[in-house]
């Protein structure tokens, strides 16, 4: 029996296996002005094909909760009903192939207002249709323009925006919602001492720097059904100095364990463990499964279910991570871009049951 293809139940939701699709921005939403951020036929095809490919949970890409929370002008959004309506077909399509439909809610913070990566990813100035980014303080990300520091009132508005987006996600048919607290975006930039130099209740101590993340988590949990899970994605380390006295000190693995306990207390059901993204020049020792130890550490210290992500590309590798109890699930990104049917082929390699659509039955045989 394959551990990777065992179901997992979180609250009252059963996910058919532990091989999941990581949220990956496609920078392909439709619309302009107030009608921006709407899912298209591309999103439907892109996401449902991975569901047909046997992936257990499909997490829709980072979806902005406010207009200024977009990474690019082409990001998905979920701050109005038109955007919600555009995602109904996507969620239904994912579920029609036996997968669970999830969505990641996000705010880009000081990394907002940039071009799509394939045209350079440069910051877009306001005179060219960009917008003012926001952050915990007015310090920029790399060579981006200085963001506006959020006021306490604006922080409260952003917390409510996450909750309102979660309500729309539920109405659109999603069964899992994930909060993006990683990769240098708004929540992460509040967490890290490298980017948060506030002197009020949202900066300084660990308790203050985690306040915004915990308020968002609590607000979303309050509007999300008790029987359905809420995930939180974290960057478990900034890959910077870990000595608090060092001017380059960042968020650490120890901080992540502490936060995981707090998130668990407010009702978060799984920690999606990634790393990095806070600064452009961090030295990251990337390699196969390089982020798995951070997930394992959280799981051992807290008992909170975790998902591991990062250069997981082989069925045997994914199987070993789950079978050894290092993570409860794995999230694949680029490998699923390359091969929408990775899960079907992995199931065959691991002698697990496959969930091919019946329309494909003639092609399965020994080679399926």
- Catalytic positions, please? 185
Q: Environment class of residue 293 by beta-carbon count within 10 Å: exposed (0-12), middle (13-18) or buried (19+)?
A: middle
What's the distance, Cα to Cα, between the start and end of the chain in Å?
19
Length of the chain: 368
| Contact criterion met (CB below 8 Å) for 331 and 308 | yes
**Quick one: how far is CA 285 from the chain centroid?**
21
- Among 310, 237, 228, which Cα is nearest to 269's? 228
Distance separating alpha carbons of residues 302 and 166, to the nearest angstrom: 26
Question: In whole angstroms, how far apart are CA 100 and each of 106, 223, 305?
Answer: 20, 19, 17
Bridge-based pairing state of the strands 13-15 and 8-10:
antiparallel
Decide if 99 contacts 57 (C-beta within 8 A): yes
CA distance to 66, 97, 101, per residue, from 16 (Å): 32, 11, 12
Measuring CA to CA, which residue among 105, 106, 125, 107 is closest to residue 115? 125
Cα 162 to chain centroid, rounded: 14
């Amino acid at each position: 029996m394959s551990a990777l293809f065992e179901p997992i139940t979180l609250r009252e939701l059963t996910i058919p296996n532990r091989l999941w699709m990581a949220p990956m921005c496609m920078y392909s939403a439709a619309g302009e002005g107030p009608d921006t951020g709407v899912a298209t036929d591309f999103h439907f095809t892109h996401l449902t094909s991975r569901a047909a490919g046997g992936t257990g949970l499909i997490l829709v890409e980072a979806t902005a909760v406010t207009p200024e929370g977009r990474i690019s002008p082409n990001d998905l959004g979920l701050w109005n009903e038109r955007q919600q309506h555009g995602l109904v077909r996507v969620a239904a399509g994912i579920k029609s192939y036996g997968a669970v439909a999830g969505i990641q809610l996000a705010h880009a913070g000081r990394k907002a207002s940039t071009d799509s990566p394939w045209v350079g990813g440069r910051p877009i100035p306001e005179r060219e249709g960009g917008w003012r980014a926001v952050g915990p303080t007015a310090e920029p990300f790399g060579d981006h323009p200085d963001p506006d520091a959020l006021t306490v009132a604006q922080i409260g508005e952003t917390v409510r925006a996450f909750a309102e987006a979660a309500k729309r996600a539920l109405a659109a048919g999603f069964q899992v919602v994930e909060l993006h607290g990683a990769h240098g975006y708004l929540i992460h930039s509040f967490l890290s001492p490298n980017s948060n130099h506030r002197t009020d209740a949202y900066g300084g101590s660990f308790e203050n720097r985690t306040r915004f993340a915990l308020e968002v988590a609590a607000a979303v949990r309050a509007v999300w059904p008790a029987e359905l899970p809420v995930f939180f994605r974290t960057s478990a380390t900034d890959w910077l100095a870990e000595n608090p006295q060092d001017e380059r000190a960042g968020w650490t693995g120890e901080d992540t364990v502490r936060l995981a306990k707090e998130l668990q207390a407010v009702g978060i059901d799984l920690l999606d463990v990634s790393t990095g993204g806070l600064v452009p020049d961090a030295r990251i020792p990337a390699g196969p499964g390089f982020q798995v130890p951070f997930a394992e550490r959280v799981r051992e210290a807290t008992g909170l279910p975790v998902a591991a992500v990062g250069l997981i590309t082989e069925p045997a590798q994914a199987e070993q991570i789950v079978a050894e109890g290092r993570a409860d699930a794995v999230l694949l990104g680029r490998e699923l871009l390359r091969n929408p049917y990775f899960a079907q082929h992995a199931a065959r390699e691991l002698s697990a049951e496959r969930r091919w659509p019946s329309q494909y039955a003639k092609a399965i045989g020994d080679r399926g």
